[in-house]
Amino acid sequence: MPQRILITGASSGFGRGTALELARQGHEVIATAETWPQVRSLRAGAHEAGVTLEVIKLNLLDSIDITHASSYDVDVLVLNAGVMEGGAVVDIPLQRVRESFEINVFGHLQLVQAIVPRMIARGSGKIVWTSSMGGILVVPFLGAYCATKHAIEAIAGSMKAELEQFGIKVATVNPGVFGTGFNDTGAESYVQWYDAETAHVPMPDFGPSLAEQYNPQEMIDAMVEIIPAEEHLYRTMRPTATIDAAKAWQHTEWTQNS
């Protein structure tokens, strides 16, 4: 059955691929992009793909944009937008940390608090949070980003327990290292503030870890499958190797010394 689905962060990567494919399958998709040029680009992409896609501007730091997006009554809310800021925890400017939480967590939470009451009133709906492998494990020099994703894990887990009584489903998707460009821009994000001579902790070369990223189509396919599905696992992590790494990390947390 076709559903009405709102997806944040749909201008590129997982969001774009998922929005276009869900629209191709006949769902009514409201896809959001942060800037007007991205809105126009996504509309053009939908036209090229031959699918119907409603595209709106949503900058999660803009309360007007959030109010507009909140006016949509949807069956599924997919909270996919995000930023990644690199830097050692003792060096990264707090402005960057605060902005990461404002976009990844608080902007989405504001959207949730505006949209979900209508789901409660009708007794159905679904919220899908795009978390990360970084919501389960920790990547050194990406501590601020991982902290936002750990926060998402806590919020999503609480929401699942709180909203189940109203017939509302909550789930997470947890991508590993996929080649969408997101990780590459995150790896460069520190260059405008970082000073090797004054930093307390030297930044490493991220190049080797970005050299062999996975094909994002695997994650897009999984998202397209679970977003409209009636039944599926609470957490969807891809690729399989990342699942093993996340479970190994959780074991290490119980066994390693301080």
Q: What is the dihedral of CA 54, 55, 57, 59, to 10 degrees?
A: 100
How far, CA to CA in Å, does 133 sit from each of 15, 32, 136, 142? 17, 24, 6, 12
Contact 167, 160 (CB under 8 A): no
Tens place of pLDDT per residue across the chain (258 aa): 899 999 999 999 999 999 999 999 999 999 999 999 999 999 999 999 999 999 999 999 999 999 999 999 999 999 999 999 999 999 999 999 999 999 999 999 999 999 999 999 999 999 999 999 999 999 999 999 999 999 999 999 999 999 999 999 999 999 999 999 999 999 999 999 999 999 999 999 988 889 889 999 999 999 999 999 999 999 999 999 999 999 999 999 999 999
Which of the residues 57, 126, 149, 169 is marked catalytic? 149
Topology adopted by domain 4-255: Rossmann fold (3.40.50)
Please tell me what DSSP assigns to residue 180. S
Give the start-to-end residue ranges of the domains of the chain.
4-255
Cα(72)–Cα(68) distance, rounded to whole angstroms?
8
Residue 131 annotated as catalytic: yes
The separation between CA 18 and the C-alpha centre of its own chain, rounded to angstroms, equals: 12
Of residues 131, 132, 169, 190, which has the active-site annotation? 131
Token pair 């489903």: residue: 169
Which of these is catalytic: 72, 145, 189, 190?
Answer: 145
The residues facing 7 across adjacent strands are: 31, 78
Could you tell me if 76 and 125 are in contact, meaning their C-beta atoms sit under 8 angstroms apart? Answer: yes
Contacts of range 195-204, beta carbons closer than 8 Å, 24 or more positions apart: 199/88, 199/91, 200/88, 200/90, 200/91, 201/88, 201/90, 201/91, 203/86, 203/87, 203/88, 203/141, 204/140, 204/141
Q: Indicate if 258 belongs to the active site.
A: no
